[in-house]
A and B are shown apart, each in its own frame.
Chain A
Amino acid sequence: MRGLWKLIWIEIKIFLREPLGAFGTIVFPVLIFLVVGRVTGRRMAPSSLADNGFLQAGLPVIVSLLIAINAVLSLVTIISIYREGGILKRLRATPLRPQTILTAHVIVKLLLTTATLALMVLAGKRYYPTGIHVPLFSFTIALLISTLSILSIGFLIASIVPTARFAQPIGVAILYPMLGISGLFFPVASLPPALRAIARVLPTTYAVSLLEGIWRGDGWYEHTGDIALLAFVFFACTALSAKVFRWE
């Protein structure tokens, strides 16, 4: 793990120097949260079964997942740019282990996800004092588990995209529809059978279920199924991308 922390620290600094890096990943989701929250009123409250409106899952869960997807898209883009520019190859020509390089990027993304979530909560406290007690710590852990699982899909995408130019659009084309049918906006049960079948194998569906539940105050044991599936996706995708990942 030599060099891991230094690499993480440098990657964070580099990320914050990107003109759109900090804004796109940290500020933008929080802005969406504030604007949509203001327009729709007090949706901080956990969604009830009777409430089948647009914001099925509740705004915090939607924005949290947007944060996660943004982190994943950013990872896909960075990895493909680093590969195309020969940066990954240059890092490999050192005693650095390949897994250390990739771990550093994953940790950077998890840290940014946490930071964005914290910012969202702080902003939410200020503008939407709902007075509802939310298990924030558990919710953060749930979001990190979800992000990790979706990140592994990101790695798989990063392994197969041919050039950096395609990385972002391909990532968007895969990840956003996933989000769309995962029960965030419409209940999975109300989807046509074909889409429902797809939704059942998507990690995002289980991430939504987990995040909603934890936000509502469920215990972890009620969501062992969700966590098991997210973990399974993580290990399967990681193993698969370890096989097909290209360094140059």
Chain B
Amino acid sequence: MRPVIQVSGVRKTYGQMVAIDEVSFEVSEGEIFGLIGPNGAGKTTTMECIEGLRRPERGTISVLGLDPIRHVYELQDHIGVQLQQAQLQKRIKVWEAVDLWASLYQKKATDGEQLLEQLGLTEKRNAWFMNLSGGQKQRLFIALALINDPEVVFLDELTTGLDPQSRRAIWDLVRGIRERGKTVFLTTHLMEEAQRLCDRVAVIERGRIIDMDTPERLIARHCPERTVVLSTDDSAAEVHLRAIPGVQSVRCSDSRFTLRGTGDDLVTDVIQCLSENRIRVTEFRTILPNLEDVFLKITGHSIRD
């Protein structure tokens, strides 16, 4: 896969404050790449340097072979951008915004009406921006980011402030963008979003990238622990469960057992043990670590702090 975004050794400061430093990564064609980290970690700064909206002090950036500072207007023709916390004119109508944006690009724009249809905004085409709901505004911004049929789409904190239902709808939209062969670069502080959506993520904290991989591999690398929770009335169960290789701790309260261990085989081993010893269970579930646990593990604090 050819790299469409190459970032190498980028540093950006605001006065005394170092926003990002030594940021390096590559994004390949057709992948959804996520930059994840808490608020203020440098996600937006990194993204805006790549979009050509900010000039880094040090380092090199190349997007589709273009320098975002020197070829900023040419670059804008090939990318689509959704900014964090952007607004439009309060009283601009939905169709007017789409029509205006379509007129700004050299490239032949995609059909605006069709885009509105896909994003479920056809009913709202004559509504003023100020009268749209949060989810509708966000979908309009996605429409504007896609109007020039861009090769790379940048989405900054796409679903912040949305209810779970709109969030899921927007995740489906983003997957749809990738299916059309586009590259997606997104930032989020929602680990669930990153895990469900991204092919690859980079974890950024205090302006530095501290790890980068697929969500699965990050979890396997940093959080190999597995947890099984089960309930049984069988008084002999504890002895058998403790004997399972790979189980490191067993905790029991009332009739509920919490087993911790490592390795992908843990769950299978527990099931096998239950079946061999004919232990009757009334509850069985597994708790798998997620990106949130990875973040906690590698930074030493929760992403929500």
CB distance from A160 to the nearest CB of B (A): 18
B91 touches A14 (CB 8 A): yes
Q: Which residues 1-58 of A sit at the B interface, judged by CB distance below 8 A? A: 2-3, 6-7, 10-11, 13-14, 17-18
- A86 at interface by CB-CB < 8 Å: yes
CB distance from A22 to the nearest CB of B (A): 12
- A196 at interface by CB-CB < 8 Å: no
Contacts of A6 in B (CB 8 A): 99-100, 103
A87 touches B88 (CB 8 A): yes
B91 touches A93 (CB 8 A): no
Q: Which residues 89-103 of B sit at the A interface, judged by CB distance below 8 A? A: 89-92, 96, 99-101, 103
CB distance from A18 to the nearest CB of B (A): 7
B86 touches A87 (CB 8 A): yes
Contacts of B144 in A (CB 8 A): 90
- A246 at interface by CB-CB < 8 Å: no
Contact of A18 among B53, B73, B86, B91 (CB under 8 A): B91
CB distance from A246 to the nearest CB of B (A): 13
- A216 at interface by CB-CB < 8 Å: no
Q: Give the complex CA separation of A226 and B51 in angstroms.
A: 45
Q: Give the complex CA separation of A94 and B105 in angstroms.
A: 8
Contacts of A96 in B (CB 8 A): 104
Contacts of A223 in B (CB 8 A): none
Contacts of A95 in B (CB 8 A): 73, 76-77, 104-106
Contacts of A93 in B (CB 8 A): 51, 53, 76, 81, 83
B100 touches A90 (CB 8 A): no
Residue of chain B at shortest CB distance from A15: B91
Which of A7, A11, A94 gathers the greatest number of chain B CB atoms within 10 Å? A94
**Per-position 1/0 for A76-104, Cβ under 8 A of B:** 00000010011101101111110000000
- B272 at interface by CB-CB < 8 Å: no
- B85 at interface by CB-CB < 8 Å: yes
CB distance from B30 to the nearest CB of A (A): 23
Q: Give the complex CA separation of A96 and B148 in angstroms.
A: 13
- Assuming the A-B contacts A10-B100, A17-B91, are A94 and B76 also in contact, with contact meaning beta carbons closer than 8 angstroms in the complex? yes
Contacts of A89 in B (CB 8 A): 53, 83, 86
CB distance from B47 to the nearest CB of A (A): 11
Contact of B73 among A10, A87, A97 (CB under 8 A): A97
Residue of chain B at shortest CB distance from A94: B104
A2 touches B83 (CB 8 A): no
Contacts of A87 in B (CB 8 A): 86-89
A7 touches B100 (CB 8 A): yes
Q: Give the complex CA separation of A95 and B79 in angstroms.
A: 10
Residue of chain A at shortest CB distance from B81: A93
Q: Show the binding face of B for A, using Cβ within 8 Å.
A: 51, 53, 73, 76-77, 81, 83, 85-92, 96, 99-101, 103-106, 128, 144
The 17 sampled A-B contact pairs (Cβ below 8 Å) are A2-B104, A10-B89, A10-B92, A10-B100, A14-B92, A17-B128, A18-B91, A85-B86, A85-B87, A87-B88, A89-B86, A90-B83, A90-B88, A93-B51, A95-B73, A95-B105, A96-B104
Inter-chain pairs besides A90-B83, A93-B81, A95-B76, 13 sampled, C-beta below 8 Å: A2-B104, A11-B89, A14-B90, A17-B91, A17-B128, A82-B89, A85-B87, A86-B83, A86-B87, A87-B86, A93-B51, A93-B53, A95-B77
